[in-house]
Amino acid sequence: MKLKHIAALAALAMPLAAQATDGYFSHGYGMKAKGRGGAATAFATDTFGGANNPGSMAFVGTRVDVGLDWFQPNRSASTQGSGNAAFGIPPGSFDTSVDGNDTKNFFIPELGYNYMIRPDLALGVTVYGNGGMNTDYNGNALTNPAARGTCNFFQTGAPGPGNGSYNQLCGNGNLGVDLSQLIIAPTLAWKFHPDHAVGIAPLIGYQKFKAYGLQPFAGISSSPGNLTNQGYDSAWGWGVRIGYFGNVTPTVSIGAAYSTKIYMGKFDKYRGLFANQGEFDIPENLNVGVAWKVIPALTLALDYQWINYAGVDSVGNPSTQSPCTNGAPTQSACLGASSQSIGFGWKAVNVWKLGAEWAIDPRWTLRAGYNHTDNPIQARDVTFNILAPGVVQDHLTLGLTYTLPGGSELTAAYMHAFDNSVTGATNPLYFPVGGTQTISMYQNSFGVAWGMKF
């Protein structure tokens, strides 16, 4: 299959891809890795080296893998009012709990192919959903009449009767975002020693995004006409991942990989929302790992990953910095105005992935894993992150592979991310009532893949 055909299929699959586990990256890439809690840097068991470690592709052989992952994020947000005498809201009366979204099910494709040009040189390609975020809150979230009157004031400058229909952030209609990211990673790996290899994978990034229900943000946007309800916009970009893989003893393998930031084209339709007039790059990341074959049938693996969300202005800039003034859209903190614009306030995260793989017999292999990530969202940024509540931290995974007659494989993986919440004071830039807001999320996923070594 030619690369242009793979790219076309990947682009068609994009509306189905959205995930948020380790921040908004996936907890693992490739169904085997997903069963091991994401641990994959020191494994060479499938063709997803373009996502995990390009150096591993020199040890994979000629092989193809195709899979589909069902992903179900359950996200919610609520507001608890502390009282706002100016608008007649008594303490404790204001609660806008929203549990569950209209969009709950996503299907995420994955594809890998590797060809051994010669015993020490491999050429392949990995296509994977890097990550994403989706929220879709009810457009009639505010049920307290006084709170609705406050929203009316926030939008028009005059208190209203409170009969309007408003979402969680005082906007009109449903509130949400939909971000999907997909990477095409051609790979070249060279085995410079029988037990050691290096690899490189140019990263071709494609992403699409839409936002809706953010009308009240117009007063702090550098381009209010390019802020919300503009439909989907898309962008392409580029980066590179390099990696090393080595068998240091007959029972121990190690690996390391680094990905540069993927420099994406700008979302022109949302240049009034994201920093630098619509810029939304994919962050740099680093992973290292070790795998130990304790006995011939049992292998344990540990990966560490660092994801630098703070290095992307639109993601890492705090949401609480001094806003721009209405009528002064050139001020640097205005949404979309500059590299100093208001962002989601995400910090860089450390991720630990622990996995086990047990080959029961030549046909059956079982897997289990645990994945823990830092929470990128601080209490100060909760209001803005109602749009992107990527707060889950702990994941448990299970997986298995069955080898069919003829040598092809069927692999399945399950993941559960436990419920986690963050609470912070409401930010008056976006929600003028006062009190606190809480964002929460838990997740499930189940995927199946077919693989064949030639």
What is the distance between the terminal CA atoms of the chain, rounded to a whole angstrom? 15
Distances (CA, A) of 313 to 279, 323, 342, 420: 8, 16, 8, 25
pTM: 0.91
Distance CA 437, CA 123 (A): 50
Q: Which two tokens stand for residue 286?
A: 């680093």
Cβ atoms of 162 and 147 within 8 Å: the answer is yes
pLDDT digits (tens, 9 = 90+) for 374-401: 999 999 999 899 999 999 999 999 999 9
**The most confident of 8-12, 58-62, 83-87, by mean pLDDT:** 58-62
Least confident of 30-44, 99-113, 232-246, 349-363: 99-113
Least confident of 219-228, 254-263, 394-403: 219-228
pLDDT mean over 407-423? 96
Distance CA 44, CA 87 (A): 62
Distance CA 452, CA 332 (A): 53
pLDDT at 353 over 80: yes
Cβ atoms of 20 and 73 within 8 Å: the answer is yes
Cα angle 46, 50, 53; round to 5: 80
pLDDT at 417 over 60: yes
pLDDT tier at 88 (50, 70, 90 boundaries)? very low
Note the pLDDT of residue 99.
Answer: 46
Half-sphere exposure (Cβ direction) of 444: Cα atoms closer than 13 Å: 3
Mean pLDDT of the chain, nearest integer: 87
Distance CA 12, CA 29 (A): 20
**Radius of gyration (Cα) for the chain, nearest Å?**
23
Least confident of 33-47, 90-104, 203-217, 334-348: 90-104
pLDDT mean over 132-157? 69
Distances (CA, A) of 28 to 170, 209, 240, 280, 324: 36, 22, 19, 22, 39
Note the pLDDT of residue 261.
Answer: 97
Percent of the chain with pLDDT over 90: 65
Q: Which two tokens stand for residue 425?
A: 């004071």
Distances (CA, A) of 138 to 99, 102, 171, 318: 9, 8, 11, 26
Cα angle 296, 299, 305; round to 5: 155
Least confident of 210-219, 255-264, 431-440: 431-440
DSSP 60: T
pLDDT digits (tens, 9 = 90+) for 192-210: 999 999 999 999 999 999 9
Domains of the chain as residue ranges with CATH: 3-431 (2.40.160.60)
pLDDT at 79 over 60: yes
